[in-house]
Structure 1
Amino acid sequence: MNNVELAQSFVLHSRPFKESSLILELFTLDHGRCNVLARGVRGSKNSHKRALLQPFQPLAISWVGRSELKTLKGFEATERSYSLVGVPSLSGLYMNELMLKLLIQWDPHPDIFQCYQSALFRLSGNENPSVVLREFELQLIDELGYGIDWLHDIHGDTIDSELDYGFLPEQGFVILPQAPKNALKAQGKHIEAIANHDWEQSGSLALARKIGRTIIDPLVGYKELNSRKLLQQTLAIR
């Protein structure tokens, strides 16, 4: 992968490199997550270029190089940037941090790319950020091989909206009282609502968030995600 032309990309994060350069952490449609060195873009003469190398801006990026760190050759905006402010912006940064933590380099996930771009579009349209994030988390978990069967318990029996269950990571739902005491408790009606993406059902979003965290937290080594902490603090103030 020495020479790549116009890869559909988003900048997930960037950090300074030496006096005038940036290392861009990208998420691309065809190549997955990768790092690219953008030489000289921090100089005052290139401020207009640097303005495009921001999160939530759809880009076509070209690079060269034999090493793991590629060198930026050129880039252009393919669409207008998704305008995210406040909670939607923090929600987008949370998705970025999740992908930086959970996706390995050079492992394409085109479905996640499409889901991510769709989530940015929905956030820019003032859709409920909690709904957007829960659906993104669940698809990300599924793509990484930790998908949840929302329709059946671990014995293959159909989830009953009238019953209560316990959730066991990497296993699924167990009817109470058979589940261990430390299992995450879940009402059948909320499990059904999540399966149907029925977020109007009171309690479904909260359950999806709790289950998502029980799966994601071990995958990130139980380390605190800065964007999630800031998002939670912002929501608590509102």
Structure 2
Amino acid sequence: MTTSGQPAFVLHSRAYRESSALVDYLTPQGRLRAVLRGARGKAGTLARPFVPLEVEFRGRGELKNVGRMESGGIPNLLHGEALFSGLYMNELLIRILPAEDPQPALFDHYAATLVALGAGRPLEPLLRAFEWRLLDDLGYGFALDRDIHDQPVLTDGSYRLQVDAGLEQVHLFQPGLFQGAELLAMAEADWAAPGALSSAKRLMRQALAVHLGGKPLVSRELFRKP
């Protein structure tokens, strides 16, 4: 089976046999893995992350072949922490997104986030929005303004995350709780609110952890290097 050309981004590529590469792509039809032949030639120069591509895939199995690959737009030139952020998003997609699970809205959000990273927009709000979109589109999202009993989150309330259910109000103090005011700010994407960004980062880590199977993300270590 041959698909017509579709938009795609390279998530990861590694050498395969003598002159080929095994490439993970993100497309509107989901994450696809394919063999790219002649990867040391012209095709290999295109098979880089963050470059908009148009790719034609061939084959019926889970491992496909690249029939045609062309530039699909202007490359997103990422540097420094913006580059690390892009690599982090790519690793999240490889680890969490099921193969061949169509996600056209997530693809569009990913492409828009790359453009925003390249334009130098603040990283943390972009990453939190991407993490949330990934979880929500895969059916793992939860309400930020209502608890697991469908009661409104209270500004002065304290909450913990029940990963398989949502937010649960807690009346006795314990470490690591989320304040209602912070959660309501997250729901409105009000990142200027005190504590909203730091709490959102902690909340997303908890929400993602169960889907990562206890194996840490390599790309997170890039942010810790001097």
Superposition TM-score, scaled by structure 2 size = 0.94
- CA-CA distance at 1:178 after TM superposition: 5.9
Structure-2 residue corresponding to 1:122? 116
Structure-2 residue corresponding to 1:14? 13
Instruction: Quote the Cα distance in structure 2 between the aligned partners of 1:175 and 1:225.
Output: 30
Between 61-70 and 190-199, the greater mean CA deviation after superposition: 61-70
Structure-1 residue corresponding to 2:38? 40
Instruction: Quote the Cα distance in structure 2 between the aligned partners of 1:199 and 1:128.
Output: 11
Instruction: Quote the Cα distance in structure 2 between the aligned partners of 1:154 and 1:104.
Output: 27
1:205 aligns with 2:197: yes
| 1:113-134 deviation line (CA, Å, top 9, x unaligned) | 1111111011011011111111
- Percent of pairs with identical residues: 33
- CA-CA distance at 1:57 after TM superposition: 0.4
Task: Specify the code of the residue in structure 1 equivalent to 2:209.
Answer: D
Instruction: Quote the Cα distance in structure 2 between the aligned partners of 1:155 and 1:49.
Output: 53
Instruction: Quote the Cα distance in structure 2 between the aligned partners of 1:69 and 1:172.
Output: 36
Structure-2 residue corresponding to 1:108? 102
Between 58-67 and 12-21, the greater mean CA deviation after superposition: 58-67
Superposition TM-score, scaled by structure 1 size = 0.90
Task: Specify the code of the residue in structure 2 equivalent to 1:170.
Answer: D
- CA-CA distance at 1:155 after TM superposition: 2.1
List runs of 5+ in structure 1 lacking aligned partners: none
| 1:24-57 deviation line (CA, Å, top 9, x unaligned) | 111111x211111111221xxx2x4322110000
Instruction: Quote the Cα distance in structure 1 between the aligned partners of 2:91 and 2:163.
Output: 22
CA contact (8 A) 2:3 2:58 kept: yes
Structure-2 residue corresponding to 1:187? 179
Q: Which residue of the other structure, out of 50, 53, 56, is the alignment partner of 2:50?
A: 56
Structure-2 residue corresponding to 1:85? 79
- CA-CA distance at 1:202 after TM superposition: 2.0
CA contact (8 A) 2:38 2:44 kept: no
Structure-1 residue corresponding to 2:67? 73
- CA-CA distance at 1:226 after TM superposition: 0.5
1:28 aligns with 2:27: yes
RMSD of aligned alpha carbons: 1.5
- CA-CA distance at 1:66 after TM superposition: 3.0
1:148 aligns with 2:124: no
Task: Specify the code of the residue in structure 2 equivalent to 1:17.
Answer: Y
SS class of match (2:3): strand
Structure-1 residue corresponding to 2:188? 196
Instruction: Quote the Cα distance in structure 1 between the aligned partners of 2:213 and 2:122.
Output: 28
Between 208-217 and 82-91, the greater mean CA deviation after superposition: 208-217
Change (3 A) 1:159 1:67: closer
List runs of 5+ in structure 2 lacking aligned partners: none
- Large movers: runs of 4+ above 4 Å: none
- CA-CA distance at 1:176 after TM superposition: 2.8
